Amino acid sequence: MEGLGVDQLVLIPFDRALASLSPQAFVHEILVEKLAAQAISVGFNFCFGYQRRGTAEDLVAIAHPYKIPVSITAPQTKGADPISSSAIRQALLTGNLSQAQQMLGRVYDLTGTVIRGQQLGQTLGFPTANLQVPEHKFMPRFGVYSVSVTSELWLHPQRGVMNWGSRPTVAGQQPRLEVHLLDWSGDLYGHTLTVHLQQFLRPEQKFASLAALKAQIQVDCDIARSSLAAVV
Instruction: With respect to residue 198, please indicate whether it lies within any of the assigned structural domains.
Output: yes
Cα distance between residue 140 and residue 171, in whole Å: 21
Q: Is residue 121 over pLDDT 70?
A: no
Instruction: With respect to residue 30, please indicate whether it lies within any of the assigned structural domains.
Output: yes
Q: Cα–Cα distances in Å, from 112 out to 70, 148, 226?
A: 37, 14, 26
Same domain, 59 and 120: no
Residues 75-120 pLDDT 10s: 998 888 889 999 999 999 999 999 999 999 999 999 999 998 766 6
H-type alpha helices, the chain: 16-19, 23-25, 56-63, 85-93, 97-104, 120-124, 210-227
Q: Is residue 175 over pLDDT 80?
A: yes
Position 112 scores a pLDDT of 96
DSSP 8-class letter at 64:
G
Q: Is residue 164 over pLDDT 90?
A: yes
Number of domains making up the chain = 2
Instruction: With respect to residue 42, please indicate whether it lies within any of the assigned structural domains.
Output: yes
Instruction: With respect to residue 55, please indicate whether it lies within any of the assigned structural domains.
Output: yes
Instruction: With respect to residue 7, please indicate whether it lies within any of the assigned structural domains.
Output: no
For 206, other C-beta atoms within 10 Å of its C-beta total 12
Weakest-pLDDT range from 96-100, 141-145, 163-167: 163-167
Q: Is residue 123 over pLDDT 80?
A: no
Same domain, 111 and 187: yes
pLDDT band at 230 (very low <50, low <70, confident <90, very high): confident
- Indicate the pTM of the whole model: 0.81
Rg (CA), the chain: 23
Cα distance between residue 217 and residue 165, in whole Å: 14
Same domain, 125 and 28: no
Same domain, 122 and 211: yes
Same domain, 50 and 120: no
DSSP 8-class letter at 12:
P
Same domain, 146 and 216: yes
Same domain, 222 and 111: yes
Same domain, 113 and 188: yes
Instruction: With respect to residue 5, please indicate whether it lies within any of the assigned structural domains.
Output: no
Instruction: Tell me, rounded to whole angstroms, the distance of Cα 49 from its chain centroid.
Output: 28
Residue 223: domain span: 107-227
Cα distance between residue 157 and residue 149, in whole Å: 5
* 214 and 149 Cβ atoms separated by less than 8 Å: no
Residue predicted with more confidence, 122 or 43? 43
For 91, other C-beta atoms within 10 Å of its C-beta total 21
Position 118 scores a pLDDT of 66
**Domain CATH for 145:** 2.40.30.30
Mean pLDDT for the stretch of residues 144-165: 95
Same domain, 165 and 216: yes
Residue predicted with more confidence, 167 or 9? 9
Instruction: With respect to residue 93, please indicate whether it lies within any of the assigned structural domains.
Output: no
Same domain, 51 and 139: no
Return the bridge partners of 146, or none. Answer: 161, 199
